[in-house]
Amino acid sequence: MSDQSSGMRPANYGIRKMYQALANLIFAVVTVSLLAVAQADSPEQAATDGTVGLDEQVQALKKEVMDLNRDLFILEEELLFPANTQVAVFVSMDVGEFFALDSVQVKVDDKEVANYLYTEHETEALHRGGVHKIFTSNLRSGEHEIVAFFTGVGPHGRDYRRGASVKFEKGIGAKFLELTISDKAAKAQPEFVVREWE
């Protein structure tokens, strides 16, 4: 999935929008029902007690909708990227002074699958320990090769572009790969590593 200027419209965009619309519809219908029930009460009960009770009900409903949204998201992931073919690639950073990340390009079996521009906020989040899922897809079983290119500003403020690659065996079960950028103080250079999660 390419991000740089191609927009975030993966194949599951339509499905996710459908699920969101369904969740919103359920929320709207139940909210209207609750309001109708509240209005059926006597005028005396419509004062503070009724209002507080309705707020609690709405909050509980919101939580249920959020839980539903989360469950739908997990279901969507399981349907679109079943564990037996799923491959996911993550980016993490542990750098201080040797590298300012600008973008990461990922190729699997010599085909570009991701090209992500990192903003200042996103880079900051990576510095703080965040991990970014840059790519998710399905691959058949067998040997594959992943190559990642990191572009940014290296030591002494110079433009920097480095690659790292690894061959991996895709078997039964999901495969997770991590692209790690870290300082190598001994060489005063950043280090780029691709590794598999066990």
Partner 1 sequence: MANRLKSVLIVAVLCTGTAIGAADSGVDAPNFALKALDGKNHRLSEYRGEVVLLNFWASWCGTCRSQLSGLQEFHQRYHEAGLTILGINIDEHDHDAVDLAGGLEFPILRDTRHDVSELYDLKRLPLTVLIDRDGVVRHVYDGKDARSSDAYLADLRELLRE
Residues ≥6 apart with Cβ < 8 Å to 38: 46, 50, 53, 54
Could you count the other beta carbons within 10 Å of the beta carbon of residue 35?
Answer: 13
Our finding on whether 77 is near partner 1 (CB under 8 A) is no
Our finding on whether 103 is near partner 1 (CB under 8 A) is yes
Q: For tokens 């005063």, what's the residue? A: 188
Alpha carbons within 13 angstroms on the beta-carbon side of residue 50 total 14
E-strand stretches of 27-141: 86-94, 100-108, 111-117, 131-138
Give 31 or 151: the residue with its C-beta nearer to partner 1: 151
- Of 18, 74, 79, 117, which lies in the binding site for partner 1, with binding defined by CB under 8 A? 117
Our finding on whether 118 is near partner 1 (CB under 8 A) is yes
Our finding on whether 128 is near partner 1 (CB under 8 A) is no
Give 64 or 102: the residue with its C-beta nearer to partner 1: 102
Give 140 or 158: the residue with its C-beta nearer to partner 1: 158
Our finding on whether 116 is near partner 1 (CB under 8 A) is yes
- Of 111, 121, 128, 158, which lies in the binding site for partner 1, with binding defined by CB under 8 A? 121
CA distance linking residue 35 with residue 44, whole number of Å:
16
Q: How far is the CB of 167 from partner 1 (least distance, A)?
A: 30
Give 116 or 175: the residue with its C-beta nearer to partner 1: 116
Could you give the C-alpha distances from 37 to 33, 40, 41, 45, in angstroms and in order? 6, 5, 7, 12
- State whether the Cα torsion 44-48-49-51 is positive or negative: positive
CA distance linking residue 151 with residue 171, whole number of Å:
31
Q: How far is the CB of 117 from partner 1 (least distance, A)?
A: 4
Positions 3 through 22 that interact with partner 1 (CB under 8 A):
3-9
- Of 76, 122, 178, 183, which lies in the binding site for partner 1, with binding defined by CB under 8 A? 122
**Three-class secondary structure of residue 174 per DSSP:** coil
Residues near partner 1, by CB under 8 A: 3-9, 102-103, 116-122
